[in-house]
């Protein structure tokens, strides 16, 4: 922010919107590099052998991937569909740098994954059986479910784990069955993967520690039975500050937990965040095309819709909206901020304190570099947002 105006990578946001047209994603690529280096360095400083990958489903913008290859080449790829395998390879990653962890993998998916030669983590007993049948003798990882996961609210339940069964991961009780399937098909298990976190910050670390402790126990069981586990992939789920009062995740404490529980196992330790690496690098800009009071409620209508800014609608995420020419301008009242998709619930915010705003003003959604542009849909045949990405900061 400068003089009350929003700046991105040192450029005036409103001017960028005028120059490039809205809706527009603006990426500050340096932020991605900073986050990747911070993660790697935190792990190295505890003596771990780190592997850092980007969850491609969070962000696949070619300019960002080009930046990663050129400036932060140690970042590998976490992919979850054959299309993402092709995308990663097409943007410069070698098969050896790509880890596949997906779900409900079909026979056709498997053919494409196998022929690409990327490493595959398998998340269900029946999927292990399917892989064994299709590719006996293959080396695979297993995605386990430690039954607990750290979240933003610290509840210990996430989309991936909790009281009710979830889609993902082989539980500790299922481990003997998994090993029986692997032996039957001559599969080698070389990786234990767990992704159970969701946006956790430092107050989620005690739950994270219990998660890692349980996963380490499963690794020890496997190693004790002679399986050559060479990597423990700890998934993503690391959060970034999103609200007033949020503090950045304490990476030193996070890495220390990994080192305590996984260090003695003589394995490479992988992390594959989406949010942590790319959430903060992206801002979406939209023009105000409607300001109208309707039954006492001021509606602020934007030229952007949920088709290009969909994270809030899929995940219920926090959305931080500001007026670019007056980021800290005093709120006039509580508004409804609506999108340009022809549906009644294409609403970005309700009862949202917002300053006086005019048609033609530019509004920014802050910290939307993950799970937004990458989830763009063709609903109503609205076009994708434009993109401008900066490698440098002014
Ligand atoms: C297997 C796997 N790894 C990594 C991620 C990235 O998650 P996040 O963006 O929360 O770091 C996901 C997201 O769901 C995932 O399913």
Q: Whole-angstrom Cα distance, residue 64 to residue 55?
A: 13
| Distance, C-alpha 366 to centroid of its chain | 16
pLDDT band at 167 (very low <50, low <70, confident <90, very high): confident
Binding-site residues, ligand 1, Cβ < 6 A: 55, 58, 78, 101, 195, 198, 235-238, 272-276, 370
Residue 155 pLDDT > 80, yes or no? no
CA of 278 to the centre of ligand 1 (A): 12
Does residue 372 share a domain with residue 234? no
What CATH number corresponds to the domain at position 128? 3.20.20.10
Mutation pick for ligand 1 pocket among 32, 35, 51, 55 (CB with most ligand atoms within 8 Å):
55
CA of 296 to the centre of ligand 1 (A): 41
> For 308-325, how does the pLDDT look when each residue is reduced to its tens digit (9 = 90+)?
999 999 999 999 999 999
What CATH number corresponds to the domain at position 301? 2.40.37.10
Residue whose CA lies nearest to ligand 1 atom number 12:
236
Does residue 287 share a domain with residue 198? no
Mean pLDDT of the region 110-137: 97
Contact 314, 339 (CB under 8 A): no
Does residue 182 share a domain with residue 331? no
| Distance, C-alpha 23 to centroid of its chain | 22
Residue 295 pLDDT > 80, yes or no? yes
Mutation pick for ligand 1 pocket among 58, 234, 238 (CB with most ligand atoms within 8 Å):
58
Q: Whole-angstrom Cα distance, residue 144 to residue 162?
A: 13
pLDDT band at 131 (very low <50, low <70, confident <90, very high): very high
Mean pLDDT of the region 325-337: 98
Q: Whole-angstrom Cα distance, residue 273 to residue 282?
A: 16
Does residue 258 share a domain with residue 341? no
Does residue 212 share a domain with residue 158? yes
Instruction: Give the model's pLDDT for residue 102.
Output: 95
Q: Whole-angstrom Cα distance, residue 62 to residue 27?
A: 12
Residue 74 pLDDT > 80, yes or no? yes
Taking Cα atoms as reference points, which of 253, 166, 170 lies closest to residue 209? Answer: 253
Is residue 371 left, alpha or beta, with left meaning phi > 0 and alpha meaning psi from -120 to 50?
left
CB neighbours of residue 328 within 10 Å: 9
Instruction: Give the model's pLDDT for residue 190.
Output: 98
Cis upstream peptide for 23 (omega within 30°): yes
> Beta strands of 7-87 (E only): which ranges?
7-8, 11-12, 24-28, 50-55, 76-79
Does residue 55 share a domain with residue 143? yes
Does residue 54 share a domain with residue 197? yes
Dihedral of CA atoms 170, 173, 179, 185 in degrees, nearest 10, equals -60
Residue 163 pLDDT > 80, yes or no? no
Taking Cα atoms as reference points, which of 367, 360, 328 lies closest to residue 3? Answer: 328
Q: Does any domain span residue 71?
A: yes
Q: Does any domain span residue 54?
A: yes
Residue 223 pLDDT > 90, yes or no? yes
Residue 156 pLDDT > 90, yes or no? no
CA of 78 to the centre of ligand 1 (A): 9
Strands 24-28 and 282-294: antiparallel
Does residue 96 share a domain with residue 211? yes
Q: Does any domain span residue 98?
A: yes
Q: Give SS3 for 54.
A: strand
Ligand 1 atom showing the smallest separation from residue 272 Cα: 4
Instruction: Give the model's pLDDT for residue 367.
Output: 98
Residue 73 pLDDT > 80, yes or no? yes
Residue 154 pLDDT > 80, yes or no? no
The answer for residues whose C-beta is within 8 angstroms of residue 126's C-beta and 6 or more apart is none
pLDDT band at 158 (very low <50, low <70, confident <90, very high): confident
Q: Whole-angstrom Cα distance, residue 101 to residue 119?
A: 9
Domain boundary among 237, 261, 277: 277
Q: Which range marks the domain in which residue 382 is found?
A: 7-27+279-390
Residue 329 pLDDT > 90, yes or no? yes
The answer for residues whose C-beta is within 8 angstroms of residue 111's C-beta and 6 or more apart is 134
Q: Does any domain span residue 307?
A: yes
Does residue 223 share a domain with residue 107? yes
CA of 122 to the centre of ligand 1 (A): 15
Q: Does any domain span residue 1?
A: no
Cα→Cα distances 213→147, 154, 271, 368, Å? 12, 17, 16, 32
Mean pLDDT of the region 261-277: 98
CA of 194 to the centre of ligand 1 (A): 10
Q: Does any domain span residue 156?
A: yes
Contact 55, 279 (CB under 8 A): no
| Distance, C-alpha 106 to centroid of its chain | 24
Number of domains present in the structure of the chain? 2
Does residue 317 share a domain with residue 381? yes
Domain boundary among 228, 258, 277: 277
Ligand 1 atom showing the smallest separation from residue 277 Cα: 11
Residue whose CA lies nearest to ligand 1 atom number 9:
274
Q: What share of the chain is helix, strand, coil (3-state, %, to 5)?
A: 35, 25, 40
Instruction: Give the model's pLDDT for residue 90.
Output: 98
Q: Does any domain span residue 2?
A: no
Ligand 1 atom showing the smallest separation from residue 58 Cα: 9
Contact 320, 367 (CB under 8 A): yes
Taking Cα atoms as reference points, which of 284, 193, 274 lies closest to residue 240? Answer: 274
Does residue 125 share a domain with residue 216? yes
Taking Cα atoms as reference points, which of 121, 123, 125 lies closest to residue 141? Answer: 121
Does residue 226 share a domain with residue 293? no
> For 3-55, how does the pLDDT look when each residue is reduced to its tens digit (9 = 90+)?
999 999 999 999 999 999 999 999 999 999 999 999 999 999 999 999 999 99
Mean pLDDT of the region 332-338: 98
Residue 165 pLDDT > 90, yes or no? no
Mutation pick for ligand 1 pocket among 146, 236, 251 (CB with most ligand atoms within 8 Å):
236
Domain boundary among 254, 277, 300: 277
Q: Does any domain span residue 201?
A: yes
Tell me the average pLDDT of the chain.
96
């Amino acid at each position: 922010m400068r003089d009350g105006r929003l700046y991105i990578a040192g450029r005036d946001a409103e001017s960028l919107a005028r120059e490039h047209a809205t809706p527009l994603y603006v990426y500050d690529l340096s932020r991605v590099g900073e986050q990747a280096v911070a993660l790697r360095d935190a792990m190295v400083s505890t003596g771990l052998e780190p592997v850092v990958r980007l969850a491609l489903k969070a962000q696949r913008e070619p300019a960002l991937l080009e930046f990663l290859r050129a400036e932060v080449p140690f970042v590998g790829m976490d992919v979850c569909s054959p299309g993402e395998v092709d995308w990663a390879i097409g943007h410069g990653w070698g098969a050896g740098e790509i880890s596949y962890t997906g779900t409900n993998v079909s026979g056709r998916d498997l053919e494409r994954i196998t022929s690409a030669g990327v490493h595959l983590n398998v998340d269900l007993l029946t999927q292990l059986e399917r892989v064994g049948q299709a590719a006996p003798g293959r080396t695979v990882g297993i995605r386990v479910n430690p039954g607990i996961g750290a979240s933003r609210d610290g509840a210990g339940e996430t989309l991936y784990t909790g009281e009710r069964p979830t889609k993902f991961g082989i539980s500790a009780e299922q481990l003997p069955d998994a090993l029986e399937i692997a032996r039957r098909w001559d599969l080698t298990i070389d990786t234990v993967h767990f992704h159970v976190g969701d946006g956790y910050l430092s107050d989620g670390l005690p739950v994270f520690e219990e998660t890692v402790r349980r996963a380490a126990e499963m690794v020890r069981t496997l190693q004790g039975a002679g399986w050559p586990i060479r990597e423990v992939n700890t998934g993503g789920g690391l959060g970034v500050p999103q609200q007033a009062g949020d503090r950045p995740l304490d990476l030193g404490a996070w890495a220390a937990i990994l080192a305590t529980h996984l260090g003695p196992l003589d394995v490479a330790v992988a992390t594959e965040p989406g949010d942590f690496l790319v959430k903060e690098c992206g801002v979406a800009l939209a023009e105000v095309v409607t300001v109208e009071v309707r039954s006492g409620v001021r509606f602020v209508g934007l030229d952007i819709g949920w088709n290009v800014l969909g994270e809030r609608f899929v995940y219920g995420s926090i959305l931080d909206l500001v007026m670019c020419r007056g980021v800290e301008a005093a709120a006039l009242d509580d508004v409804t901020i609506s999108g340009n998709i022809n549906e009644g619930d294409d609403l970005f915010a309700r009862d949202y304190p917002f300053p006086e705003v005019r048609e033609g003003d530019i509004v920014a959604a802050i910290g939307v570099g993950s799970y937004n542009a990458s989830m763009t849909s063709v609903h109503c045949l609205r076009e994708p947002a434009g993109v401008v990405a900066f490698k440098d900061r002014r």
